[in-house]
Amino acid sequence: MAWLQREKAPISKGQKSDIPAGLWLKCQNCGAILYRKDFEEAHNVCSQCGHHYALDAKSRISMLLDSGSIKNIFEEITSCDPLGFSDRKPYKTRIEETATKLGHNQDAIICAQGSIFSIPVCLGVFEFAFMGGSMGSVVGEKIARLFLKAADERVPALVVSSSGGARMQEGILSLMQMAKTCAALSSLRDAGMPFISILTNPTTGGVAASYAMLGDINIGEPNALIGFAGPRVIQQTIREKLPEGFQRSEYLLEHGMLDMICKRHDLKDKLGSILSILLNKAKQPPANA
């Protein structure tokens, strides 16, 4: 029975193994064990079930814009504390701690100029890890400037939204951003340039109730939660059971609130096709000309 004898002692608590920490991760949706490097190269999408996990703003920008074309804009706009707000800690402290943790002070959105398959665009991407992607004065100002800049330079605007809604620490000033972003969007429409809105998980509250659902093309990521109030709040308010999949991308597509659902690794190719079609149409003279 020599084959039953141990040649090496088992690894005990506190003893290091030869496997580096964090090399593997478990999909919370299907339970598959994923190699972290492959997972990150797939832009945080599970290779087994296709579940789309959160992706930071810088990674999204690199994923969508052509290499070498990226130029960050509006970096000088940073948050202040207009109300002197404080709960368990001052609002100003929360901003500083979050900026330090993320390694940038761009608030909950990063804006950039660049190109998608050589088509110039202005792009804004939400950073959900910055206070839940909440839209305060800085986020609203950046989105408004993004639309105005795109209108002035006659290029398309794209925003990838991921937000819990308006930022409560700024009170009514945060709610004002809903009107401001929509007003700025009208300038882009007047210039004849398209706005493509990409809604990811989650896109809720004041963001969903303003510019995010006003795209010329609205694209959702698979199974993204999109809506104003959350389904639990709605169900408790109307005291009725909600339909299966309520407020998910697939439900919104079925009910005409989205134009399409696009998997993350297909998004750049899809955007390139859409932009080519829309811009070619914009160049055509009116039918009665």
Q: How would you class 181 by CB atoms within 10 Å of its CB: exposed for 0-12, middle for 13-18, buried for 19 or more?
A: buried
Predicted local distance difference test score (pLDDT) of residue 5: 54
Predicted local distance difference test score (pLDDT) of residue 16: 44
List b or e across 182-202, with b for residues whose CB sees 16 or more CB atoms inside 10 angstroms: bebbebbeebebbbbbbbbbb
Predicted local distance difference test score (pLDDT) of residue 210: 97
Predicted local distance difference test score (pLDDT) of residue 19: 43
Give the residue-averaged pLDDT of 180-198: 97
Q: How would you class 62 by CB atoms within 10 Å of its CB: exposed for 0-12, middle for 13-18, buried for 19 or more?
A: middle
Give the residue-averaged pLDDT of 67-83: 94
Predicted local distance difference test score (pLDDT) of residue 230: 82
Lowest-confidence region among 24-33, 61-70, 215-224, 276-285: 276-285
Predicted local distance difference test score (pLDDT) of residue 256: 96
Give the residue-averaged pLDDT of 49-75: 97
Per the structure block, which two tokens stand in for 257?
């609130």
pLDDT one-digit tens code per residue, 81-91: 989 999 999 99
pLDDT one-digit tens code per residue, 136-176: 999 999 999 999 999 999 999 999 999 999 999 999 999 99
List b or e across 102-139, with b for residues whose CB sees 16 or more CB atoms inside 10 angstroms: bebbbbbbbbbbbbbeebbbbbbbbbbebbbbbbbbbb
Please give the single-letter amino acid code of residue 5. Answer: Q
Find out whether 116 and 64 touch, Cβ atoms under 8 Å: yes
Domain ranges for the chain: 55-283
Q: Which one of 3.20.20.70, 3.90.226.10, 1.10.357.10, 1.20.1250.20 gives the CATH number of domain 55-283?
A: 3.90.226.10
Q: How would you class 92 by CB atoms within 10 Å of its CB: exposed for 0-12, middle for 13-18, buried for 19 or more?
A: middle
Strands 119-126 and 109-116: antiparallel
How many residues are there in the chain?
A: 289
Could you give the angle at the alpha carbon of 230 between the alpha carbons of 226 and 231, nearest 5°? 100
> Percentage of the chain with pLDDT > 90?
82
276: CB partners within 8 A, 6+ apart: 117, 119
Find out whether 181 and 210 touch, Cβ atoms under 8 Å: yes
Give the residue-averaged pLDDT of 40-57: 96
Assign 3-class secondary structure to the chain.
Answer: CHHHCCCCCCCCCCCCCCCCCCCEEECCCCCCEEEHHHHHHCCCECCCCCCECCCCHHHHHHHHCCCCCCEEECCCCCCCCCCCCECCCEHHHHHHHHHHHHCCCCCCEEEEEEEECCEEEEEEEECCCCHHHCECHHHHHHHHHHHHHHHHHCCCEEEEEEECCECHHHHHHHHHHHHHHHHHHHHHHHCCCCEEEEEEEEEEHHHHCCHHHCCCEEEECCCCEEECCCHHHHHHHHCCCCCCCCCEHHHHHHCCCCCEECCHHHHHHHHHHHHHHHHHHHHCCCCCC
pLDDT one-digit tens code per residue, 265-284: 999 999 999 999 999 876 66
Mean pLDDT across the chain, nearest whole number? 91
Predicted local distance difference test score (pLDDT) of residue 281: 73
pLDDT one-digit tens code per residue, 1-39: 454 455 554 544 444 444 455 899 999 999 999 999 999
